[in-house]
Structure 1
Amino acid sequence: MVFGEVAHVYDDVRPGYPTEIARTILDYHGTAPAHVVEIGAGTGKGTDVLLRLGAPITCLEPDPRMAARLTAKHPQVQVRTESFEQWRPPAGGVPLIAAALAWHWLDPATRNPRAHAALTPGGTLAAFGHRYAYADPDQAAAIDATLRAIDPTVRDRPPTWLHDDIIASGLFTDVRTETTSRHLPLTTDRYQQLIGTFGPFRTRPVDERARALDAVRALVDGFGGTVVLDLRTTLVLARRPGTA
């Protein structure tokens, strides 16, 4: 339950997803799915886009504070305060499972087999998320050096890790990846708030968090009070073999 205590900040400052993701998913799936299950729905950043599929959605969100925020925003979806591992799919499975910036929180040993088993034959897995890069290489280098000086253990996942993880399972066919990029300028305050919602930050001791935020403030103020993110959004689509 890493994000619950900052659910309102998370919902406010985390960037949403391009609406075009919904059309890409529909084109891949072939028709509007009869049912969508979203893993780790959080406050509904991914749900905002998935609602455009025109299908009933069941959102799995184990943190009750995040789930409450999601329910308030989207009362039309069914929210279940349980994890993907706790959830039991209906008999016959579901036609589409989605995960928005949640795949990395699932058990690496079981996430692909569980998704495969929960899908109907021919069903679609849609996993997507942001990668926070920087438009200015100098800003990127300075921020990376500053944060690693506080916590040198932090490691970024490779840009293709999501695609590679699903491919490596050997369980899915027709795996496709689309990546889009957009620039997102943030003030010092907004960037501090964003950093405060990241998982690696939330799991660090309180004193390290305070030092990181102080360092980030000094750094971005030195840039003139603005940092420009190169926000890269990757969507990976995959299909369970077979026909419904």
Structure 2
Amino acid sequence: MDPSAARVPHPGHFDADPSGYEAGRPPYPDALWARLRALGVLRPGLHALDLGAGTGQATGPLLTAGLSVTAVEPGERLARRLAERFPAARVLVARAEDVELSRAGYDVAVAATSIHWMDLDVVLARVREALTSDGRFLVWRTEFGDPTASLTPFRERVGEIVARRAPVVDVRRRGGTAELARALTAGGLFAVEEIDVTRWSVDLDEAGVRALFATFSDWSEAEVAAAGAAARDLGGTVREHYVTPLIALRAI
């Protein structure tokens, strides 16, 4: 594949290699879970809905906190791995737009690095119907690269790799956190309770860079190899700075 060719993002990318996705994606930072505990949404006994659950990066901590979890994942292979990892979860193989859910059956709904794949016009109404009258909808995502951090040599190399691509329109993009919050509340079904941003870092060796970047739906194999080579050239281990914005919403 031409390393300069644009790769159109597609959610089916993740289902091709569930074990690679599981191994490559770092866990969400402890500070995020501490914030959720402070918000009172990690109380034992609550019923949680995890939309676009992947291999359980959010499902696992929710179960550990004592919540019962219904995990919705459209990828059959991902869902199978999710069920293997977390047999206590109820796993539904479906898109968030199509899944059959109990009316007012959940205290908490979560979309963890998945909302950008969903049709908000459909999903917001379905989530609101599935939540109790005082339910919460928690939306967060990991942004791989912190624009406020100093530009590292590795990030310079990543920028050079991306700059060589042909232009492509990414239909997932909904702007920044403020724009996403407006989109989530535009229908009058939810109100923003809090917006919180966690900044964190992780050290990755060449294998870790390759494993993580291979999970990105818009990265080609050649680009992943180039990112791994950059880590090797820069001493073997690089420190990556990431951002996890959280939008906590209350049902109206």
Q: Please give the range of the TM-score, normalised by the shorter of the 2 chains.
A: 0.7 to 0.9
Please give the secondary structure, in 2, of the residue aligned with 1:110.
Answer: helix
Structure 1 pair 154–140 and aligned structure 2 pair: CA distance change class (3 A): farther
TM-score in terms of structure 1 length = 0.85
Residues in 2 aligned to 1:162 and 1:229: alpha-carbon distance in whole angstroms: 24
* Distance apart, 1:40 and its partner CA: 0.8
Q: CA deviation at 1:168?
A: 3.4
- Aligned-partner Cα distance in 1 for 2:204–2:167: 25
Offset at residue 152 of structure 1 (A): 3.2
CA distance in 2 between partners of 1:152 and 1:230 (Å): 25
Comparing 170-179 with 79-88, greater Cα deviation is found at 170-179
Q: 1:73-112 to 2 correspondence within 5 Å?
A: 73-112=85-124
Aligned residues: 234
Query: Structure 1: 5+ residue runs without aligned partners?
Result: 202-208
Instruction: Quote the offset at 1:20 in angstroms.
Output: 4.5
Report how far residue 74 of structure 1 moved: 0.9
Q: Which amino acid aligns with 2:126?
A: R
Relative to structure 1, is the Cα distance of residues 214 and 36 closer, same or farther in structure 2, using a 3 angstrom cutoff? Answer: closer
Describe the SS at the equivalent of 1:239.
Answer: strand
| Residue-by-residue CA offset, 1:169-199 (whole Å, 9 max, x unaligned) | 4321243111111111111221112111112
What does residue 215 of structure 2 align with? 197
Q: Hey, what does 1:2 align to over in structure 2?
A: 13
What's the counterpart of residue 177 of structure 1?
195
CA contact (8 A) 1:17 1:49 kept: no
**Equivalent residue, structure 2, for 1:220:** 231
Instruction: State the secondary structure of the residue aligned to 1:211.
Output: helix
Residues 89-98 or 6-15, more deviating: 89-98
Match of 2:221 among 210, 219, 223: 210
Q: Paired residue for 1:139?
A: 154
Query: CA contact under 8 A between 1:167 and 1:175: conserved in structure 2?
Result: no
Letter in 1 for 2:121: A
CA distance in 1, matches of 2:209, 2:180: 25
TM-score by length of 2: 0.82
Q: In structure 1, what is the equivalent of residue 79 of structure 2?
A: 67
User: Is the 2:23–2:211 contact (alpha carbons within 8 Å) kept by the matching residues of 1?
Assistant: no
Deviation at residue 49 of structure 1 after TM alignment: 2.0
CA contact (8 A) 1:95 1:120 kept: yes
Are residues 162 and 15 of structure 1, via their aligned partners in 2, closer, same or farther at CA, if it must alter by over 3 Å?
farther
Asked whether the 8 Å contact 2:181–2:192 carries over to 1, the reply is: no
Bigger CA drift: 40-49 or 84-93?
A: 84-93
Q: For residues 174 and 81 of structure 1, what CA distance do their matches in structure 2 show?
A: 29
Unaligned runs of 5+ in 2: 1-11
The answer to whether the 8 A contact 2:47-2:68 is kept is: yes
Alpha-carbon shift at residue 239 of structure 1 (Å): 0.6
Q: Distance in 2 between matches of 1:226 and 1:159?
A: 29
Aligned-CA RMSD value? 2.3
SS of the aligned residue for 1:150 comes to: coil
Distance in 2 of aligned mates of 1:120 and 1:4 = 31
